[in-house]
Amino acid sequence: MPTQQRRPPSSASSSSRATRSRDIEQVDEEIVFDRIHPSFMIPDLFTQPPPDETVEACLPFLTGEDGENECNEHGVPGIDRARHVRFLHQCLGKLPARFVAADASRPWFLYWCLSALTMLGEDVTSYRDSIIQTARSMQNDTGGFGGGGRQLSHIATTYAVVLSLALVGGEEAYEVVDRKAMWRWLGSLKQPDGGFQVFVGGEQDIRGAYCAAVIISLLRLPLDLAPESPAYTGDSSANLLTGVAQYVRRCQTFEGGISGQPNAEAHGAYAFCALACLALLDHPGRSIPSYLDVPRLIAWLSSRQYAPEGGFSGRTNKLVDGCYSHWVGGCFPLIEACLNSNPSRSSSGGAVAADDPTATATATTPTITKTSLPPADESLFSREGLIRYILCCCQDQTKRGGLRDKPGKMSDAYHSCYVLSGLSSAQHQWELDELEPDAQPDAAAAAAAEPNDAAASAGPNKQADLEAVWAVLPYLDGLQVFDNKDRVRPIHPVYAIPQPTVRAIQAYFAERPGF
Ligand code: FPP
Ligand code: K
Ligand code: ZN
């Protein structure tokens, strides 16, 4: 049985049944029916307890019996800042030779480490000069950033470089980006069905849509398409954001979760991409319920949190893993803010009712009526459970430091970043400005609407105001199982970097709308 599986998968049980049937054929039928107990034919799925090695591995940490950590009165250890910080500085230094296979992920290492250090309260501006130098070497004249010098531009590495430049901040860092080439390159990834390829000629998936929306928003890129773009229509009826929300909608699966591409398996990483992408296309109180079946998505997301571990799995029948503290956990602040900014709590109908003749843009094609969505008065997941999993099970408390998937795994930069991102979102509450019932969808929403939507033709091809107004507070409802010294910095629920960092880069480029 593969240890990655929380429950025996149905395929394994049917194959064991097939093996047994073959055995039986080799035996004289009369003997078989005389001697073989009926349980011989029952698949393991229905007779064996699930292999819960993960629960076994986590329990000593959750109960404090591992004896290594000093716990507070709730049985929760503090965050081992000094060790994690040292680990992350080490990861940013020269890596051992065995990391050569990860060469194409170098921008990711930069982002993971800078982001984790920032959440731990460290000042990362000392890395500015080296990030600038590294980023320059990764940029292609044809736009975007590759994983290293002379590597093809990829939307994920480009996203990681742009976030890294934002994190170190400052004019010189921002100016590394060739925005005109970036704009052209994003246009060449844009497809007529609304989605984005992850590199020129490469596959199309929801990471592409999320990364593109983040890059466009942070760099304040114009939305119009160059004639070379595969999505160019010859007039202004389509732009960089046209059909993105419809593409996201096609990725919601029968389970209620989100897959990387239409008709694939729902996975937590893609749920975050979907929600954050929609939150960039319009006010999330409008775009999320207009394009996703929110109750089914909440049901799927809730099923990702396991007891007794408290952490999240990435998909059905799989194990908890610290990185899903961000990919799945980070979905909840977006959904909570969306539900709580929804005016339907006091009235019937959506923000802009589908039958409202003045309705425009995204509001013209809702699939869900918002009357079915109550406000999220309480947390939609167990923050206590997640925080316990993170602080008890995901910290490497040896000299090594860093954060990890689960007990028994090595810490690494990726898990350090996303475990801390999940901790940050569990420790904070994000609120959105209330969605006015008669509010006009913003310019990005107009741009994202279908070509035949009323607002699309009027949709400005100029820089849109992509951001709803988000405000953050410490999350104070319910039992606080961690001490205040163990709170990490808040990160913006959409961009996953601090809100002042987002504002600084956007403000810089908003003043320079041309190329
Ligand atoms: C399965 O891994 C993982 C996936 C199918 C998706 C991975 C994608 C991301 C982590 C992030 C994408 C987002 C951006 C912004 C680039 P697995 O089979 O090892 O893990 P599992 O057993 O937990 O599913
Ligand atoms: K995993
Ligand atoms: Zn993981």
Check which CATH number belongs to the domain holding 242 and give it.
1.50.10.20
Asked if the model's pLDDT at residue 387 lies above 70, the reply is yes
Asked whether residue 23 is domain-assigned, the answer is no
Closest CA relative to residue 399, chosen from 64, 119, 86: 86
**Range picked from 54-68, 90-104, 213-227 for highest mean pLDDT:** 213-227
Any ligand 1 atom below 6 A from CB of 326: no
Residue 357: pLDDT over 90 = no
- Nearest bound ligand to the CA of residue 213: 1
pLDDT at 451 over 60: no
Q: pLDDT band for 236, please (50, 70, 90 cuts).
A: confident
- For 348, other C-beta atoms within 10 Å of its C-beta total 9
Lowest mean per-residue pLDDT among 89-103, 245-259, 373-387? 89-103
The backbone region for 494, taken as left when phi is positive above 0, alpha when psi lies in -120 to 50, beta otherwise, is: alpha
Lowest mean pLDDT among 16-30, 92-106, 306-320, 358-372: 358-372
| pLDDT band at 435; cut points 50, 70, 90 | confident
- The reply to whether ligand 1 has any atom less than 6 angstroms from the CB of 267 is yes
| Residues 210, 316, 265, 10, Cα dihedral to 10° | 170
Query: CB of 247 within 8 A of CB of 209?
Result: yes
Nearest atom, ligand 1, residue 4 CA? 22
Q: Is 314 in the pocket of ligand 1 (CB under 6 A)?
A: yes
pLDDT of res. 51? 72
User: Which phi and psi angles does 24 have, rounded to 5°?
Assistant: -65, -40
- Ligand lying nearest the CA atom of residue 324: 3
**Distance between CA 430 and CA 375 in Å, rounded?**
14
143 within 8 A of 198, measured Cβ to Cβ: no
Which among 326, 415, 428, 492 is annotated as catalytic? 415
What 3-state class would DSSP assign to 471? strand
Residue 238 lies in a domain: yes
Task: Quote the pLDDT of residue 52.
Answer: 85
pLDDT at 20 over 50: no
Domain for residue 515, yes or no? no
Nearest ligand atom owner, CA of 410: 3
Tell which wins on pLDDT, 26 or 76: 76
Q: How far is CA 362 from the centre of its chain?
A: 22
Question: Is 25 part of any domain?
Answer: no
What does the block give as tokens for 310? 């408290």
Q: Measuring CA to CA, which residue among 431, 341, 344, 326 is closest to residue 381?
A: 326
Distance 3 CA to ligand 2 centre (A): 12
Beta bridge partners of 259: 266
Between 446 and 226, the more confident residue is 226
Instruction: Report if residue 315 sits inside a domain.
Output: yes
**Cβ–Cβ under 8 Å, residues 262 and 250:** yes
- In the chain, the number of structural domains is 1
Query: Tokens 């590759």 appear where?
Result: 146
Residue 436 belongs to a domain: yes
Give the domain range for residue 241. Answer: 81-94+102-510
**Residue whose pair of structure tokens reads 């990834």 in the numeric block:** 189
Contact between 434 and 343 under an 8 Å Cβ cutoff? The reply is yes
Token pair in block for residue 402: 């860093």
Residue 66 pLDDT level (bands cut at 50, 70, 90): confident
Average pLDDT value for residue range 124-144: 96
Rounded to the nearest integer, the mean pLDDT of the chain is 85
pLDDT higher than threshold 90 for residue 176? yes
- Please tell me the distance between residue 405's alpha carbon and the centre of ligand 3 in angstroms: 5
pLDDT band for 398, please (50, 70, 90 cuts). Answer: very high
pLDDT at res. 402? 98
Name residue, tokens 């190329």: 515
Q: Which two three-digit tokens encode residue 78?
A: 């503090």
pLDDT band for position 473 (50/70/90)?
very high
152, part of any domain: yes
The CA–CA distances, whole Å, from 226 to 15, 153, 231, 234, 494 equal 53, 18, 9, 10, 27
Stronger pLDDT, 69 or 326, i.e. the higher one: 326
> Ligand 1, from 270, 306, 323: best to mutate by most atoms within 8 Å of Cβ?
270
Nearest CA residue ID for atom 24, ligand 1: 314
| Phi, psi at 36, each rounded to 5° | -85, 125
Q: According to the model, what pLDDT value does residue 2 have?
A: 42
User: In terms of DSSP bridges, do strands 470-474 and 428-432 run parallel, antiparallel, or are they unpaired?
Assistant: antiparallel
CB atoms within 10 A of CB 436: 13
The reported pLDDT for the residue numbered 346 is: 36
Across the strands, what pairs with 44? Answer: none
Answer whether 315 contacts ligand 1 (Cβ < 6 A).
yes
Least confident of 14-23, 263-272, 296-305, 316-325: 14-23
Amino acid at position 234, single letter? G
Q: How confident is the model at residue 148 (pLDDT cuts 50, 70, 90)?
A: confident
Question: Which residue matches tokens 């992350």?
Answer: 88
Contact 301, 381 (CB under 8 A): yes
Determine the Cα–Cα distance for residues 172 and 145; give it in Å rounded to an integer.
17
The gap between the terminal CA atoms of the chain, to the nearest Å, is 56
Query: Among 18-27, 239-248, 329-338, 420-429, whose mean pLDDT is lowest?
Result: 18-27
- Whether 405 is catalytic: yes
pLDDT band at residue 100 under the 50/70/90 scheme: low
The predicted-structure confidence for 181-234, as pLDDT tens digits, reads as follows 999 999 999 999 999 999 999 999 999 999 999 999 999 999 999 999 999 999
Residue nearest to atom 5 of ligand 1 (CA): 267
User: Which ligand sits closest to the CA of 111?
Assistant: 1
ipTM over 0.85: yes
Tokens of 394: 């995901």
> Average pLDDT, stretch 50-63?
90
Residue 373, pLDDT above cutoff 60? yes
CA 229 to centroid of ligand 1, rounded, Å? 29
CA 273 to chain centre: 5
Does the annotation mark 318 as catalytic? yes
**What tokens appear for 345 in the block?**
């709590």
Q: Taking 90 as the threshold, does the pLDDT of residue 13 lie above it?
A: no
Ligand 3: centre distance to CA 430 (Å): 25
Ligand 1, atom nearest to 314 Cα:
23
Residue 62 lies in a domain: no
pLDDT class of 359 with cuts at 50, 70, 90: very low
Collapsed DSSP state (helix, strand, coil) of residue 26: coil
Query: Of the given ranges (8-12, 103-107, 483-487), which has the lowest mean pLDDT?
Result: 8-12
Given this model, what pLDDT does residue 14 score?
A: 40
- Residues 424 and 295: their CA atoms lie apart, in Å, by 25
Query: What DSSP string describes 452-469?
Result: TSHHHHH--SS-------
Residue 111 designated active-site: no
Write the CB contacts of 406 (distance below 8 Å, at least 6 apart in sequence).
54, 57, 58, 311, 319, 320, 321, 322, 393, 394
Choose, from 207, 315, 326, 406, the residue flagged as catalytic.
315
Please give the residue that has the higher pLDDT: either 366 or 201: 201
Q: Which atom of ligand 1 is nearest to the CA of 315?
A: 24
Residue, of 31 and 387, whose pLDDT is higher: 387
CA–CA dist 202, 297 (Å, integer): 28
Query: Catalytic: 277?
Result: no
**pLDDT at position 64:** 85
- Between CA 138 and CA 159 the distance in angstroms is 12
